Structure 1
Amino acid sequence: MKPLPIAALLALFLSPTTGHSTRKSLRFGPRPITRFVTQPHSTSAAASAHPFDVARAFLHSYIDSEYFIRNDSYTDGNTGITHVYVRQLINGFEVADGNINLNVRDGQILSFGDSFFRGSPQSISSRPMMSHASYCGGLAHVSEAAAQTNTQVTFSDKTRARDEAYMRVCAQPLAAVKAAIARDSCSTCDELRRAALYFMIAAHPDELVVDALANEFEAVRHGIHVTHELDQDLRASFLVSGLPGALSPVKARVVYLQIPTESGNTKLHATWRLEIEMADNWYEAYMSVNEPSVIVSVIDWAADSPTPRLDGHLNALEAKIGMGPPGAHSKTGSYKVWKWGINDPESGERTVESRLYDRLASPFGWHTVSRGNNPEGSPKWVASDTYLNFTTTWGNNVFAQENWEGGQNWIGNRRPEGGKSLNFEFEYGVKDGIEKDPKEYADLSVTQLFYTTNMFHDLFYRYGFDEIAGNFQQDNYGRGGRDHDAIIANVQDGSYYNTASFMTPPDGQNPRCRLYIWNTATPYRDGSLDSGSVIHELSHGLSARLVGGPSNSGCLGWGESGGLGEGWGDFLALIIRSTSQEANADELTIGSWITNSTNGFNHSPYSTNATVNPSTYETLNEVEFRNLHGVGEVWAEILWVVLQEMIKVHGRSPTLFPPQQLEDGTTPIGDFYRPSQPRKPLVPKHGNTLMVQLVVSSMKLVPCRPSIFDSRDAIIEADRVLTGGENLCLLWKAFSSRGLGRDAKLHGGGPWDMGKHTNGYQIPEECA
């Protein structure tokens, strides 16, 4: 191919590109040895001792390595547990996957997760034993291996999809990197610029752009600039600007990564840790310092729904959010929507809903942003003082709008206007079999997404996904955590068809939620109107911020851990739907309306009936389930079975929403909570509400990159610290009924091999 001049290369990034209907996504890496310990033996301290002092005393006796306590550690107001996040230091550098998370209450270490490197500080590998090439070599020898790439496809297209997936994430990127190496005239200089450019050559989805970057390697490298800075955690780091394909300057620093050796041991390897925001990906990538062309590990903070195959085009989406002080009150609105719990237009009628927002979660309503925190170029506002009250779908928790062009300029896009009365009532007018352009009802769609996202925010705030835990708010009202991360939610996004995605950067950066049109029926269907799918996507944000702490978005990146994120998303959508709408339903699916298919995204409906859904832990051995969404289906099915057992014993609440706080700041018990006890957290009394609390709390307890076993144990541990363990036997019996008993086993497992799963049905002796 003839090299392109730089001007032509720039034009490639400024013009729309045609390509695949599915995102290209790289995600692989070594999983360090990790363990989750419940009820550890530790020295008791006074109940009044500061949790950090308790943590330091434990660490002093437990490890020899240097470390620091991350500043996103926090105390959970719902449970009283302090979650302390510890990062390992060796030779003055962070071990990026060397984490300990300690769960502390009343002077005791309740449980902890540990992935610290245990070798000698001199055990440094000069060459990366794990790489993009070795990952692809493993894929080539594993049946149905392309499913592990997270390129989403329908099962009827497996063979073609497998071949195409391998080409997109392995063959083409590796060939392009090899071509770039041949044109790299300086093998020892500018390692960071070279590392960033090599990663973009491997990761960019457009083949023309990739070829241009590889052929013009030296010219492009000279156009990239590096500056030094201290990041928001006061760590020495770098900013890389001018990297083609990146929407914002790349954040970079040197860290160690744990990698396996051929002898089965573990060594450290020095890497450049890069945060690269792209149009359809947000990567946490690790490039070898010694060999900057080698990707050692990569996590994509974006998560997708499974999608059929259709042609689409790739475009950029960017967010530049201002900073400033807190905000104030906004009046309530009224919204004509499919109310909370109604899954889709075929499941119920629209009604006008008002007086919705939770006074604790959204104290100033859904339509107010403080002046200092309001993004530049925002819609017009009503008040002109410190508190900006908006009359459109713009507020502290979410900015919702259409994005028909699939482009970067979301701030100026169309939003429905509710007027000073905040009246959002718009016509739908869709009839089966009659074509209708979704743009004609875009105001309704944006309203629906705005409503669903705010309801999700307010509900899970009350279960512990609040500011200090890393939730999504433009203004945190001085209640902890980092501001400036309301959700950017796009309706009818024009960059793809037949999918949905959610990108979750660390706390203090705006996530992106994108919903698309589905051409699976006539007329086409709008993904924002399928609340189960929307809640699934929003749940990716919840789990990404809770597992491993608010500032670590890389804990659910791939493998079994990534599958847990998918499963939690399905389960939370199911429990919301079954509680609010279909109290007796035991056969539910995710995505059946938007896909226009009986089972939606699922192999079988979620059901306690083993004839309808026979999934057990061993189901993960089946080819169809050896991928992120397959793992998620099995995990969600097991949780669904556990939920029904909890409901049998504790009953079902007609709502998942706790009572509104009173003016004095107290929470009424009502029929929602058990009678309160001094110095004890409030405990939901019904099976469904208690299960939501246990699942949310368990996400905070598990280690980074958890396994299914870790997540099972964390739910049991959450019950122990919340109820004293009164549901111990119920939970073990329910888990074991689907093969997840104490003697269940996983043999093997790695970045490209999910191992062999063996059912176990053993329960504790006291439960026999």
Structure 2
Amino acid sequence: MSKLLQIRLLRAAALASIAFLPTATAHHARKSLGFGFSHPTSDYVTEPQIAPSFAAQADPLDVAHAFLQPYTDSDYFIRKDSYTDTNTGVTHVYVRQRIHGLEVADGDINLNIRDGRVLSFGDSFFRGPPSSSSTRPSTSHATYCGGIGNVHVASLAGDAQFVLADNNARRHWYDLHCARPLAAVQEAVGADLLKHKHDTRDPRRAALYFMITAQPDSSVAQDLARSFDATLDRMSVVYGHDPTGNPDHSSATISGLPGALNPVAARQVYVQTPASGNQTELHLTWRLEVEMSDNWYEAYVSVSDPSAIVSVVDWASDSPMPRPDGNMNALEAKLALGQPEGNAKSGSYYVWRWGVDNPASGNLTVQYAPHDMIASPLGWHTVSRANNPAGSPDWKGKHSGDDKAKYLNFTTTWGNNVFAQENWEGLGNWISNKRPDGGESLRFHFEYGVMDGFEKDPKEHVNLSVTQLFYTANMVHDLYYRYGFNESAGNFQQDNYGRGGRDNDAIIANTQDGSGFNNANFFTPPDGQNGRCRMYIWNTATPYRDGALEAGILIHELTHGLSGRLTGGPANSGCLVWGESGGMSEGWGDFFATTIRSTRGSDTFPMGDWASNQPEGVRGYPYSTASLDISINPSTYETLDGPDNWTLHAVGEVWAEILWVVSQRMVRKHGYSPTLFPPQPLDDGTFPGDFYRPRVQGKPLVPKHGNTLMVQLVIL
């Protein structure tokens, strides 16, 4: 690896870990740790030479086992989140490496199989001897910070994601993420009087050292360090059990960790760390899931030296910030047959309709939904009793004498895909927060009443804000569903209706979130855990602007959920975190936000222009239907050769522009569809109109027009 590329990747890792709020009135900067090791031995193969002979009807899992037999002699298991994409017929098989009975957390082979053949695969299996280092790991938070110091933090000043006005701000970033946490950890090591008696089977020490590092309040971190032993004593651990019922000390649940919103799940896994000869070695770690107010971490902490954090993934992704200079049963059976449920209650919503980006680009109109009966067969306001969260709002008929319905119908912005509400306090509590009530008719009609230059508290239009958030998020759910992001693929639903995947993970969507200003973020945990979307007020104009009313920002954030679960599989949310992969996640968000807002004619599409009150938006350049006009957007792959351009959002801008240029070429060749939504099927299973090309027997449906075909190809 060249020195220049090493510096770029180091910067990218650093930039993946922070997003600063650009104004002095913002509540706080969201501290976000994100770093790890890029495997030099990983590979992606598009034309496999190993080609076992199978009939087209063969079980894809049999094909996978036959493929793996000559390819690796390592133990492995096929993850339960493997699935077949019903849109394409491709089966995605996720293989996890296992050594000495423990998972290699970053040892994966992902196989794409159709018609008895492996089409392509990615491989990050560990290839060395199956031994684990019991010493301090070769890479850690300390070495990561040391590398940043060697490059010099000042070199980060030109990045569009960093809103750092001067050297003092740059030093503040380094202090917050490196200097202070490392000092607190060293103080904790001194206060950890029982470390010589450390039981490697006890994950509490690892969890506490991690919290000292991750804690955004340096004074709290210092207090935890100084009272290390006393804090450790107040924490408790409960171990899991193996299949025979005996205690399993490799998995545990930790309670009482200060700063964690919920008990911490912990289990021992191997991770790969750098070794000589451009190879890797195994290191035994505790994998911790730590949910905090502003973060949701997947952390790997050394078992032998719990003060050493080997790598960290933050499942939360931020919106880019503008630079100060502006440049920047019967139902389930019916659904199983592919038949939509026709009895869903339709709501009406007074909103900026699908495709209108913000209040400056269109008028409020009445829209009727649900839009798609395949994606949301019971509508947007129904949740099954079995999957309804405790403490929910009242449902229709709750207080009647005969409240036994399997499916509960709500009159607020509470439904199977999205739970939408305000979060003025900025806390983790959300179930009892304010939501508009549409009544028996589900009529969500609320006025905006804001004029430029007129001071008005955004809280006064909170009902409209929640309604818009609920409407847009449900539309995104339904659209992505029709292109393959369904239950089996790991989408976000409270009840999956028996159609695959894991239940209980509808998106918790907060508007006017009080934890910050001028931002937006999305938390993508693995399938079966609720995604979280937080939209903020922007204090960039008078009156303040409501981020939930800018569709482009919201769609960008929601797309983090799609890309996070599709890339590594529903159960692996850690693939798109730092470096080039993190940039691709940002680019996918921009691409879909732009595609959904695009029209047939010529136009330009800035990102975040209304919320930020900057005509050019929060990106360096807008996206334009005049895709080859470099005077509008000159971004090319070569753009990343610039010394300050190998950063998370810089990579994202280039990747989005590449996708957008290809999409425009597709439109020129194949035409433009005025809607991205496929039609509802007829009773005989065929689709009316010309949305799809004529179907070839045994082959998946192919969208006919350039923009719809591009959406399908990207989601594939």
Deviation at 1:290, TM superposition (A): 1.0
Deviation at 1:137, TM superposition (A): 1.0
SS at match of 1:276: strand
Q: Are residues 278 and 289 of structure 1, via their aligned partners in 2, closer, same or farther at CA, if it must alter by over 3 Å?
A: same
Out of 120, 124, 128, which is 2:129 matched to? 120
Distance in 1 (alpha carbons) for counterparts of 2:583 and 2:242: 31
After superposition, give the CA deviation of every residue in 1:318-343 in whole Å (9 maximum; x if it has no partner). xxxxxxx9999641100010000000
Residue 10 (structure 2) aligns with: none
1:31 equivalenced with 2:38 (yes/no): yes
Residue 403 (structure 1) aligns with: 423
1:630 equivalenced with 2:647 (yes/no): no
Residue 534 (structure 1) aligns with: 554
Residue 592 (structure 2) aligns with: 572
Distance in 2 (alpha carbons) for counterparts of 1:588 and 1:230: 54
Deviation at 1:601, TM superposition (A): 1.3
SS at match of 2:30: coil
Deviation at 1:533, TM superposition (A): 0.1
After superposition, give the CA deviation of every residue in 1:611-670 in whole Å (9 maximum; x if it has no partner). 222112121232442221111111101111111111111111101000013345x24052
Out of 78, 90, 103, which is 2:87 matched to? 78
The answer on whether the counterparts of 2:136 and 2:308 sit within 8 Å (CA) in structure 1 is no
Q: Are residues 132 and 635 of structure 1, via their aligned partners in 2, closer, same or farther at CA, if it must alter by over 3 Å?
A: same
Out of 86, 97, 106, which is 1:97 matched to? 106
Residue 668 (structure 2) aligns with: 648
Moved more, 54-63 or 132-141: 132-141
Q: Are residues 448 and 108 of structure 1, via their aligned partners in 2, closer, same or farther at CA, if it must alter by over 3 Å?
A: same
Distance in 1 (alpha carbons) for counterparts of 2:408 and 2:706: 41
SS at match of 1:682: coil
Out of 615, 618, 630, which is 1:598 matched to? 615
1:224 equivalenced with 2:224 (yes/no): no
Q: Determine what percentage of the aligned residue pairs are the same residue.
A: 62
Residue 172 (structure 2) aligns with: 164
1:418 equivalenced with 2:438 (yes/no): yes
The answer on whether the counterparts of 2:533 and 2:558 sit within 8 Å (CA) in structure 1 is yes
1:677 equivalenced with 2:696 (yes/no): yes
* Moved beyond 6 Å, runs of 4+: 148-151, 325-328
Moved more, 508-517 or 40-49: 40-49
Amino acid paired to 1:264: N
Residue 335 (structure 1) aligns with: 349
After superposition, give the CA deviation of every residue in 1:426-472 in whole Å (9 maximum; x if it has no partner). 01111011111000000000000000000000000000000000000
1:614 equivalenced with 2:634 (yes/no): yes
Out of 658, 678, 685, which is 1:658 matched to? 678
Segments of structure 1 that go 5 or more residues without pairing to the other structure are 1-17, 311-324, 698-768
Out of 692, 696, 701, which is 2:711 matched to? 692
Segments of structure 2 that go 5 or more residues without pairing to the other structure are 1-24, 325-332, 336-340, 398-402
Distance in 1 (alpha carbons) for counterparts of 2:323 and 2:214: 21
Deviation at 1:59, TM superposition (A): 0.0
Residue 756 (structure 1) aligns with: none
Residue 448 (structure 1) aligns with: 468
Out of 189, 201, 205, which is 1:181 matched to? 189
Deviation at 1:689, TM superposition (A): 0.3
After superposition, give the CA deviation of every residue in 1:28-69 in whole Å (9 maximum; x if it has no partner). 010123211112121221111100000000000111111000
Out of 563, 581, 599, which is 1:543 matched to? 563
Deviation at 1:186, TM superposition (A): 1.4
The answer on whether the counterparts of 2:555 and 2:593 sit within 8 Å (CA) in structure 1 is yes
Out of 370, 378, 400, which is 1:364 matched to? 378
1:199 equivalenced with 2:210 (yes/no): yes
Residue 226 (structure 2) aligns with: 215
Residue 497 (structure 1) aligns with: 517
Deviation at 1:19, TM superposition (A): 8.9
The answer on whether the counterparts of 1:125 and 1:267 sit within 8 Å (CA) in structure 2 is no
SS at match of 2:604: coil
Distance in 2 (alpha carbons) for counterparts of 1:447 and 1:459: 18
Structure 2 counterparts to residues 111-150 of structure 1, below 5 A:
111-122=120-131, 124=133, 126-142=135-151
Residue 72 (structure 2) aligns with: 63
Distance in 1 (alpha carbons) for counterparts of 2:27 and 2:70: 53
Out of 573, 589, 595, which is 2:606 matched to? 589
The answer on whether the counterparts of 2:322 and 2:617 sit within 8 Å (CA) in structure 1 is no
Amino acid paired to 1:501: N
Deviation at 1:585, TM superposition (A): 3.3
Q: Are residues 642 and 361 of structure 1, via their aligned partners in 2, closer, same or farther at CA, if it must alter by over 3 Å?
A: same
The answer on whether the counterparts of 2:137 and 2:310 sit within 8 Å (CA) in structure 1 is yes
Deviation at 1:158, TM superposition (A): 5.9
Distance in 2 (alpha carbons) for counterparts of 1:453 and 1:678: 35
Amino acid paired to 2:566: L
After superposition, give the CA deviation of every residue in 1:210-267 in whole Å (9 maximum; x if it has no partner). 11101110000011111112599x9962111111111111111111111112553311
Distance in 2 (alpha carbons) for counterparts of 1:150 and 1:371: 48
The answer on whether the counterparts of 1:26 and 1:149 sit within 8 Å (CA) in structure 2 is no
Distance in 2 (alpha carbons) for counterparts of 1:375 and 1:67: 36
Deviation at 1:531, TM superposition (A): 0.1
Amino acid paired to 2:308: V
Moved more, 218-227 or 300-309: 300-309
Q: Are residues 656 and 445 of structure 1, via their aligned partners in 2, closer, same or farther at CA, if it must alter by over 3 Å?
A: same
The answer on whether the counterparts of 2:349 and 2:445 sit within 8 Å (CA) in structure 1 is yes
1:382 equivalenced with 2:382 (yes/no): no
The answer on whether the counterparts of 2:137 and 2:302 sit within 8 Å (CA) in structure 1 is yes
After superposition, give the CA deviation of every residue in 1:177-198 in whole Å (9 maximum; x if it has no partner). 0110010011232441111000
Q: Are residues 145 and 66 of structure 1, via their aligned partners in 2, closer, same or farther at CA, if it must alter by over 3 Å?
A: farther
Out of 24, 28, 35, which is 1:21 matched to? 28
The answer on whether the counterparts of 2:273 and 2:280 sit within 8 Å (CA) in structure 1 is yes
Distance in 2 (alpha carbons) for counterparts of 1:150 and 1:133: 23
Q: Are residues 351 and 450 of structure 1, via their aligned partners in 2, closer, same or farther at CA, if it must alter by over 3 Å?
A: same
The answer on whether the counterparts of 1:326 and 1:373 sit within 8 Å (CA) in structure 2 is no
The answer on whether the counterparts of 1:359 and 1:661 sit within 8 Å (CA) in structure 2 is no
Residue 317 (structure 2) aligns with: 303
SS at match of 1:251: strand
Out of 524, 527, 530, which is 1:510 matched to? 530
Moved more, 111-120 or 181-190: 181-190
The answer on whether the counterparts of 2:537 and 2:544 sit within 8 Å (CA) in structure 1 is yes
Deviation at 1:81, TM superposition (A): 0.5
Distance in 2 (alpha carbons) for counterparts of 1:184 and 1:263: 36
Distance in 2 (alpha carbons) for counterparts of 1:290 and 1:163: 32
The answer on whether the counterparts of 2:518 and 2:538 sit within 8 Å (CA) in structure 1 is yes
Distance in 2 (alpha carbons) for counterparts of 1:488 and 1:148: 34
Distance in 1 (alpha carbons) for counterparts of 2:674 and 2:711: 14
Residue 278 (structure 2) aligns with: 264
Q: CA RMSD in A?
A: 2.4
